[in-house]
Structure 1
Amino acid sequence: MSDNSKRSNRKGKGLATETNPLLLSSNLNLVKEQHRNVNPYLSTNNQSPNSSYRKVHERYRKGLKFFQKGEISAKYELERKVKADEEARQQEEDERKRIKEEEEQEILKVKVANGELPDFSTGENKYLKDLTNIPTVEWWDKPYLDDRLEIFDKYRVPCREGDNTDEEEEEDEDFDENMKPSIRYVLHPIPIKVDEVVPVSKVYLTKTEIKKARRNRRKIEREELETKIKLGVLPKPAPKVKLANMMSVYENNQNITDPTSWEKTVRNQVEERKRKHEDMNLQRHEEAMKLKKSKMQEVSNVDNTKGNNFCKVYWFKSMSNPKIRFKINTNGKQLDLKGFCIRIGNEGPGLIVSSGDEKSIKFFDKLITRRIKWDESYKDKIQDKEITIEGNNAIKLWEGNMNNDKFRRFFMKVCENADQFKKTLEEFDCEYLYSMFYNH
């Protein structure tokens, strides 16, 4: 019995599929030659329906489909129009609801004013009861009343002789008119309104998180712009031509036949881009300065009579160190302080008067009392030698609130003598500080 007959007699082993005759051949060159120069994309209908190239053949038989010019743009334009109409209808519906709610609120206000409804703002709804549930007589009065709701005779107090009943009746009538209780609700004290909105603390990101968020945001914006350009919603931007790539960006005859004029055109484009870039930077700078100026104006317009103007006065022995002068002058201007720093001579004593908001004054106070090393030696660049100022220090003389001041900005001044020093204080109505300076 042959091998093929043995294999055919076996049942229940493997699939009932005949082996491909190519696999029965041990000649690999024969298999390779049979599949040479075969293109799967040019398959014919003679192949069996189980061919691996059937899907490719079906795709090419149906043909390729392309969008017509402007088809995508028209589709998106229609979607935008439908969305705009939907938003307009929604706005009209919201406006009608708002007008209806306002009318209902006006009707409720009138009813509350007339006493027909409780006032929810004062909490009357918490104490108002249904009139149908109010009994005719309270339980504590029932033992003293009969069926006709009249007081029993035994509980009546007879009038004594000599009593002026007319005056009592008049008083009772006045009492009934002026002290008539309300049967609708009992007036309770207005409850204190508590702010139920709990302020949410801000979440501050680290430098790395800020950079990552900015990078992701810019990536999304860039992808949206690229998608709109691909769909034809936005025009394609002009290529950025430079002298380095001027010969390869555009493939035309101008850069070959007349390279001089083409170079001039490219240089003009470069200058135009540079001009737009500078104009954009200038515009951003102007907007930032305008915002900063408006904030400074708001700070300067704060009423100083409400205790928002804090002032501190310091005495110092010497300010010959240029580093100290630079720190005081720079911080005074950056913190938007008002006041001055004046001294007698270049190495003489002086006063520092600082005025501003609480936060700025607190920062400036730490600068004067902690950060600055007053007794630190420095190098004189003119004489080229090391100068030591041992024992130099600064002391706080006074602090408090100032209702009014004449300070416009923070400045530094060197006075020639004590008379000029005192005259400078008098210009700002601070002559009383001279006695503190002199007695120190």
Structure 2
Amino acid sequence: MDGSRQSPGLGPRHDASSRVQKSESVADKMAALKARVAAAIGSSKAKGGLNVGLHPALEDLGSWKPPGRTADSRSSPQRSFDSTKSPGASNKDSAPRGVGSGNPYYDEQLAAQPASGKQREPRQLIFNQKGKYIQQANALRRQAALEAMKKRIADQTRRAGIEEEMDMEKNFVVEAPPEIEWWDEGLVVDGNYDNIDDTARLKIDTPDSIITEYVQHPVVLEPPQERKAAPTKPMYLTPKEQAKLRRQRRMAELKEQQAKIRLGLVPAPPPKVKKSNMMRVYAEAAVKDPTAVETMVNRQIAERQQKHVETNEERKLTKEERQEKLAANQEKDAARGIHVVVFKIDSLANGQHRFKISKNAEQHALTGICIMHPRLNLVVAEGGEHSIKKYKKLMLDRIDWTENAPSRDRGARQEAAREWLSAENEGGELKDMSRNQCKLVFEGEQKTRAFRKWGSKVCESDGEAKEALSRTKMETFWTLAKSV
């Protein structure tokens, strides 16, 4: 394409007059550039590409000043480099991208704007302070050690029962009601009561329903209240009525004995002679020899007395038989129902009190435990109604809990025993137990025995006491006793 037909512009010209020698100075180059700009402005009537006016930055090219050491000259090295390009370069290489391709989005005004004066500054290096990560590691180690110490203290607290000492009792959790009761599981399809009004979701008239036309007669069981029913008490009689019945009974027995004697079935008994009727029974003999008759009467009286004693001894039970009878009665008493009583005692420093508690429990066939603790003592006893009644009377009435007696063992046993279980203090004097008392904490019935035998246990903390009672699921009695 001929260069004379090209429209004047800012691009490089290919004529000889527009060529710039390499030896030209910077001022000459800028003067040539201004001449081309002025020619372009005059030919296009101050119109740029795409019929857009020139950028305001190009209008003051006439007042150009020689470059100095300013911020603009330092920040725009690209413009200086572009101005030193060879004028013989092709228009395609020197023109910006999109000028000759008919790009509608190319804007010469915007393309002619100089680059921003503020260059991107490199980020400075930031060094970590000495010991930064060492401090972080030490902080993590201290935190881990603190957590481990908290866990260890919690385990020791749970083991030693310090939580109970601080009255930090656990709340009882009440379970949520089930979605469906067990007796309705076979009658509802969905497993809940959401669609209970929909008869199609119920198993009542279906073939697989548990409701049938047959009648099931349950097994007849003995009512439990009849087992525990007290026997009917006989009617009490006045002393006159009792004497009247005794006379009538003895008269009937005497008439029967006389009838047997008359019929010859039994021999006639010898006369019962006493000193009061001796002269009347032995009239003639007593007159002839009263000394011999009196000696004979005394011998008969002694024989009758001896026979009476022997008869009583024969009716008396042996020691083994008495124990068997007592055990049978206690077993019958326990079969009518097991009763439970719980007592709280402030101090058991007196050894006699500990002996009475254990001995009477064994004698009444009671099972349970006696827990001895520095702050309070708990006695749990279970057995029949009669045995529990006797034991309750012993604990609340018969034993004097304010009484103190010196310990019998003053040797190595006393030295090894706990100080709070000793009757003497450090000075060797008896402890003051004037405020010691026993309280009934709980009384009720249960289905079966929870303990197999009677025992005692010394506990130093609440945790040990609850652990001893947790085997029989009675640890709540300890909490109840502490609150009383």
Q: Which bin holds the TM-score, normalised by the shorter protein?
A: 0.3 to 0.5
Give me the TM-score of the superposition, normalised by structure 1: 0.35
Where relative contact order (Cα < 8 A, 6+ residues apart) is larger, the structure is: 2
Report the structure number with the largest CA radius of gyration: 2
Give me the TM-score of the superposition, normalised by structure 2: 0.32
